[in-house]
């Protein structure tokens, strides 16, 4: 079977066909290949939750194991929820501990789910100190509002968790999901009020209360920062220089209005354009290497309401706000031999990497770019220029309509070195990645390391 129009640096023809099944995109967001640091964040947040629960149990053990367990799970819930809100504020300082913002969001999601389970347990084993405390009106109020907030929070967390309904394929629209999510912090503030004032026996060690009040406060401050401060603090103003449609994908070029943004190739940013009726910030990979004039390019594929509206609504001269950069995807920390595999618009980080390649980059790199039709391919000029600049970089465009389905065999034949000696960096539909990895394994060609992440924060 014939093969694809290979890019300038392509070394071998491919003998298989590629199809891009529509699916979720994945994007690598990893600090350094094999870096143990990326487990530090999840381990730390889990340890803090467990620590709070153990402290809760020890502190209230004299009141019986049931009461102590009730307090332990309640303490774990407060700390888990506080950390959920802290991570949602996108603290850049913590990003290295998680290996990127998307992993931080994943920890955020699992913390939220853990908080949900712990809260349910806490409500089931509600510790009863009636006989050992002097009840106050404030304590009574704290108990009642706590219950109210608990039920509302439970509903919100459940909505977030089941954003995509399993089996039926239904999805809550992002905007509705995001809107409901914004109230989490408010409800958490009520829970903090509950734990602050609810009647508890006097004379117990205050360490637990201090810990919970500290985390409670930090969670509320993080939420206030996310909702009210960050939007204006973190955004930079850009002007649209050009909007160029290319099939269902649009190239948007932006020029900084004031201070330029600094980013590393492979990072992404949140983009909004209120002037064009696109006020909800959406994440896009910066598909260009840092340039002297601070300009940057984005390739935006029409996928939903916002991205479909963009080509018609955005015009040269309009103002755009960009928040970022985020992400820790950096091929320069990978091995000496690398295969980059892109599916559809998943090419964007690779285009940025290719633009940044110089003759000084010593890695042997082969990129395979899978698209439906040759016309769909974007950024090919940048890839060609990179291959001309650096003889160790090669690429190949595989169009499924013309060349057929890309298989693991095709990929191994295309690469100028054995896949099992290379690192594989992937960005594209999850189905493409899974099929290729299974095929490579069957051939005994599993790459040394594989790096990919979901293209969405879930
Ligand atoms: C790190 C990252 C980098 C990305 N880079 C690119 C890129 O270079 N080019 C490209 O075309 N696409 C990219 N995307 C995908 C792009 O963000 C979505 O396709 C776009 O947000 C869809 O928005 P919509 O309203 O048009 O579609 P919808 O149908 O509303 O959303 C489709 C899906 O996109 C996600 N999404 C929607 N709105 C948001 C939002 N405000 N914030 C976060 N996620 C949202 C949700 O998971 C949703 O299920 C990237 C996504 C991520 C997470």
Where is average pLDDT lowest: 7-16, 245-254, 391-400? 7-16
Q: Which pLDDT score, from 0 to 100, does residue 419 have?
A: 94
pLDDT confidence bin for 375, thresholds 50/70/90: very high
Tell the residue nearest (CA) to atom 35 of ligand 1.
Answer: 456
SS3 90: coil
Tell the residue nearest (CA) to atom 36 of ligand 1.
Answer: 174
C-alpha 307 to ligand 1 mean position (Å): 8
% of the chain residues with pLDDT over 70: 88
Pocket of ligand 1 (CB under 6 A): 27, 102, 174, 268, 280-285, 299-301, 303-307, 345, 348, 455-457
C-alpha 25 to ligand 1 mean position (Å): 10
Query: Which among 456, 457, 458 is the best mutation to test ligand 1's pocket, defined by most ligand atoms within 8 Å of the CB?
Result: 456
C-alpha 271 to ligand 1 mean position (Å): 11
26, containing H or E segment: strand 25-26
CA atoms of 58 and 197, how far apart (whole Å): 21
**Do residues 16 and 405 touch, judged by C-beta distance below 8 A?**
yes
CA atoms of 102 and 403, how far apart (whole Å): 34
SS3 182: coil
Write out pLDDT tens, residues 113-143.
Answer: 999 899 889 888 877 776 667 777 887 888 8
CA atoms of 4 and 403, how far apart (whole Å): 5
Alpha helices in 24-183 (DSSP H): 40-60, 65-88, 95-98, 101-124, 137-161, 174-181
pTM of the model: 0.81
C-alpha 342 to ligand 1 mean position (Å): 17
Query: Which among 303, 305, 310, 311 is the best mutation to test ligand 1's pocket, defined by most ligand atoms within 8 Å of the CB?
Result: 303
Measured from the Cα of 286, ligand 1's closest atom is 8
Q: Mean pLDDT score of the chain, rounded to an integer?
A: 86
Write out pLDDT tens, residues 246-273.
Answer: 999 999 999 999 888 999 999 999 999 9
pLDDT confidence bin for 23, thresholds 50/70/90: very low
| Residue 255, both tokens | 């020029």
């Amino acid at each position: 079977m014939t093969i694809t129009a290979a890019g300038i640096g392509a070394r071998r023809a491919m003998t298989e066909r590629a199809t891009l099944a529509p699916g979720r995109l994945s994007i690598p967001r990893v600090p350094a290949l094999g870096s143990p640091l990326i487990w530090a964040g999840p381990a730390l947040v889990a340890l803090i939750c467990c620590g709070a629960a153990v402290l809760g149990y020890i502190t209230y053990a004299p009141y019986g194991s049931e009461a102590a367990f009730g307090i332990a799970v309640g303490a774990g819930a407060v700390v888990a929820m506080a950390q959920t809100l802290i991570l949602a504020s996108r603290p850049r300082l913590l990003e290295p501990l998680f290996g990127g913002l998307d992993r931080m969001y994943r920890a955020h999601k699992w913390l939220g789910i853990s908080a949900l389970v712990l809260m349910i347990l806490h409500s089931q084993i509600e510790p009863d100190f009636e006989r050992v405390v002097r009840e106050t009106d404030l304590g009574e109020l704290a108990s009642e509002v706590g219950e109210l907030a608990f039920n509302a929070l439970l509903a919100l967390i459940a909505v977030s968790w089941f954003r995509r309904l399993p089996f039926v394929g239904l999805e809550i629209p992002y905007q509705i999901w995001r809107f409901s999510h914004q109230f989490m912090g408010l409800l958490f503030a009520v829970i903090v009020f509950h734990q602050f004032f609810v009647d508890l026996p006097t004379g117990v060690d205050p360490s637990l209360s201090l810990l919970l009040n500290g985390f409670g406060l930090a969670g509320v401050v993080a939420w206030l920062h996310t909702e009210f401060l960050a939007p204006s603090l973190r955004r930079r103003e850009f002007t649209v220089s050009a909007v160029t449609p290319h099939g269902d994908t649009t190239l948007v070029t932006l020029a900084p209005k004031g201070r330029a943004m600094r980013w590393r190739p492979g990072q992404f940013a949140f983009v909004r354009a209120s002037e064009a009726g696109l006020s909800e910030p959406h994440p896009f990979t910066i598909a260009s290497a840092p340039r002297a004039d601070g300009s940057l390019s984005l390739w935006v594929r029409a996928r939903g309401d916002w991205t479909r509206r963009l080509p018609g609504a955005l015009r040269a001269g309009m103002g755009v706000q960009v928040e970022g950069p985020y992400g820790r995807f950096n091929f320069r920390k990978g091995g000496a031999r690398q295969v980059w595999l892109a599916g559809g618009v998943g090419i964007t980080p690779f285009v940025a990497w290719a633009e940044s390649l110089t003759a000084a980059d010593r890695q042997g790199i082969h990129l395979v770019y899978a698209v439906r039709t040759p016309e769909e391919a974007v950024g090919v000029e940048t890839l060609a220029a990179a291959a001309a600049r650096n003889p160790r970089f090669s690429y190949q465009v595989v169009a499924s309509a013309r060349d057929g389905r890309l298989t693991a065999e095709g990929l191994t034949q295309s690469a100028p070195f054995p896949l099992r000696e290379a690192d594989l960096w992937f960005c594209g539909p999850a189905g493409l990645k899974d099929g290729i990895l299974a095929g490579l394994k069957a051939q005994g060609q599993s790459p040394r390391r594989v790096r990919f992440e979901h293209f969405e924060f879930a």
